[in-house]
Structure 1
Amino acid sequence: MPDVLVIYASKMGSTQEIAEAITAHLCVAGLSVDLYPAEDAPDPIGYRAVVLGSAVYLRRWRRPALRYLRRHTTTLRGLPVWLFQSGPCGEHDASEGIPTPRAVRRLIDRTDAFEPVTFGGRLDPARAAGALARWLSSSKELRGDFRDWVAIRGWARGIAGQLGAGEPHLAHEAGPWRP
């Protein structure tokens, strides 16, 4: 059984790419990792830790991520669980975060998960799904890729360190991991 289960709920692919980068960094650190979309993720029994991330739209997490947390509350309570959320777009500093949605707050209290870290998102007009996303992507201020890959790698490195894994190789410092 792998050490870490990484789960994501993505709408337009940005959160999935963040989860893939986290997975790659944990693997480079020597951990064995399984990566799944939230709707297909297995029960966390047998894993040493869980990382779960969701895109945030209108201050809400994607339903598959919330369902996973609800469905596995008891098992997750006994594991270290790191959460991340992605979505802020624009020139503002994503590290200031966005408020943790109420539904997520209640599940954090039940699972003892760590507070979610917030990463900037990507708004690509070519991938905009839905009227709201198309409207938002028409704004020059919001359109673009606002993910901070250095911060994402640093966060993954911190998780690896807390799990007793080695330092990731510097070869991955140049840019985001791609399959």
Structure 2
Amino acid sequence: MDVLVGYATAHGSTRTIAARMASVLSRAGLTVEARPMEDVEDADAYGAFVLGSAVHGQSWLRPARRFVRDNLDVLGRRPVWIFSVGMPAALRGPWRRLAPRELPAVERGLPSNLGHRDHRLFSGTVGRDQLSRSGRVFFRLVGGRFGDYRDWAAGIAGELRPAP
């Protein structure tokens, strides 16, 4: 089965997470391709999808939302997992406890009939250069910490792997 690990990235964290997921799925015996969703010409060529995007303002990036909207007929007939990349691990205290609420907010921005099997929130990297001066000040005031918080969990391979 050909699997697309499609992504939309702003600063590269989502691309790196997608590549790592593709590697894990490939080691599980699947034929996998990781690529930006905006570069996918024929979604119908894939048998399953793992789609993810960086999250800005509790929403996927425009190329990811467009891919889902434009390919909803194909996605509706195939297994789909989605992931979002934000900064929950970079936050502390009450802000970190609010992070799981971001998933429902992100999903509200996607078509309601996208039948995905699971939605995971991963932490990406948060660098000083990614934020404006006022953004850096606010980030530090709420207890944010700059750094690389990518985690590499993926529980998808077992569901897609063909039975022996």
Please, what TM-score do these two structures have when normalized by structure 2? 0.81
Is the contact between residue 103 and residue 121 of structure 2 (CA under 8 Å) also seen in structure 1?
no
SS in structure 1 opposite 2:102? Answer: coil
RMSD of equivalent CA atoms: 2.6
Moved more, 51-60 or 83-92: 83-92
1:111 is displaced (CA, Å) by: 2.7
Moved more, 133-142 or 4-13: 133-142
Matches of 1:27 and 1:133 in 2, distance apart? Answer: 42
Amino acid at match of 1:122: T
Which 5+ residue runs of structure 1 have no aligned equivalent?
167-179
Amino acid at match of 1:124: G
Match of 2:53 in 1: 54
Change in Cα spacing, 1:112 to 1:11, as seen in structure 2 (3 Å) is: same
Match of 2:20 in 1: 21
Matches of 2:160 and 2:84 in 1, distance apart? Answer: 21
SS in structure 2 opposite 1:135? Answer: helix
1:62-141 equivalences in 2 (<5 Å)? 62-88=61-87, 89-91=90-92, 92=96, 96=100, 98-100=102-104, 101=106, 102-104=108-110, 107=111, 109-126=112-129, 128=130, 131=132, 135=136, 139=140, 141=144
Match of 2:148 in 1: 145
Change in Cα spacing, 1:33 to 1:142, as seen in structure 2 (3 Å) is: same
1:136 is displaced (CA, Å) by: 6.2
1:112 is displaced (CA, Å) by: 1.1
SS in structure 1 opposite 2:68? Answer: helix
1:93 is displaced (CA, Å) by: 6.3
Amino acid at match of 1:11: A
Matches of 2:38 and 2:125 in 1, distance apart? Answer: 22
SS in structure 2 opposite 1:51? Answer: strand
Change in Cα spacing, 1:132 to 1:120, as seen in structure 2 (3 Å) is: farther
Which 5+ residue runs of structure 2 have no aligned equivalent?
none
1:39 is displaced (CA, Å) by: 1.2
Identity %: 34
Is the contact between residue 90 and residue 143 of structure 1 (CA under 8 Å) also seen in structure 2?
no
Q: Describe the superposition over 1:16-60 as per-residue Cα deviations: whole angstroms up to 9, x where unpaired.
A: 111011001011111111111121123221322001001111111
Matches of 1:160 and 1:18 in 2, distance apart? Answer: 15
Matches of 2:21 and 2:74 in 1, distance apart? Answer: 22
